[in-house]
Amino acid sequence: MTNLPFTGSGVALVTPFKDGKVNFDKLGELIEFHIENSTDALIICGTTGEAATMPDEEHLSVVEYAVKKSNGRVPIIAGAGSNDTVHGVNLCKRAEAVGADALLLVTPYYNKATQKGLIKHYTLMAEAVKIPVILYNVPSRTGVNILPETLLKLSEVPNIVGVKEASGNIGQVAKIAALCGDKIAIYSGDDNMTLPIMSLGGVGVISVIANILPKETHDLTQKFFDGDIEGSRELQLRMLDLINAMFIEVNPIPVKTAMNLLGYELGDLRLPMCEMEESNLEKLKKVMKDYGLKF
């Protein structure tokens, strides 16, 4: 597949806030940080970026800023999913218009959809734009699972090129790989499954932990591509406890908390996301220290 927006490590970038607004200066610093540390793509306004609390104008202003700041140095993939197909189509068009290189489209949440509904929903959204589209399957958050057979059908839409697979079901990932082959590229949506998914033909990860460990996450994928499976495995296992700590409360609470502890000054989370429970905060600090992070 030649029109993939990226292979390797794509960071699901956090969104910094200050006084209730996006802190664009800090966002610019994060973009430069990731480019300097070999991150292969920036996913803007996804789950980790708290897009669910961002009005469309703010959401699109963040995408546009990232496009201009990166200036072609790294692909910008804009979250543009919705549980309202008409709204989603509009958001896709507008994200393309401000320069996004590709789109990440989460499955409809709350109202959910049948598999037939998913096909109709995604087809309309993808056909509204010309840029590549990556579907985002995360049933633990949305309540709906994209079946492998549905992905095969959606692969007939020319610009649906990949899926971020966060079902947590390695058997399902294997089925997608077996059924779809090179018609759909598979990105790991779970940091603890990056290497296993790549071993089944995955092309990289859309990562939370890369916010903190960008070079290590890039190296994990690059070593695999280079045939250094042992080196890739060592990185996967070394990061495992820290990866798991990023999900002791709902994402992005732990990762944003960890980054603030490390001095990134990203501001608060937006409600209903809130500060960590004290017991979980202490667990997070211990894992960070055990890994060797200093704060």
Q: Which residues are catalytic?
A: 136, 164
Phi, psi of 135 (to 5 degrees): -80, 155
DSSP per-residue letters across 4-52: -S--EEEEE----EETTEE-HHHHHHHHHHHHHTT--EEEESSTTTTGG
HSE value, Cβ hemisphere, 13 Å, CA-based, for 55? 5
Is residue 151 within 8 A of residue 117, CB to CB? The reply is no
> Which ranges constitute the DSSP H helices of the chain?
24-36, 56-70, 85-97, 115-127, 139-142, 148-154, 170-180, 194-199, 214-225, 229-238, 240-245, 253-261, 278-291
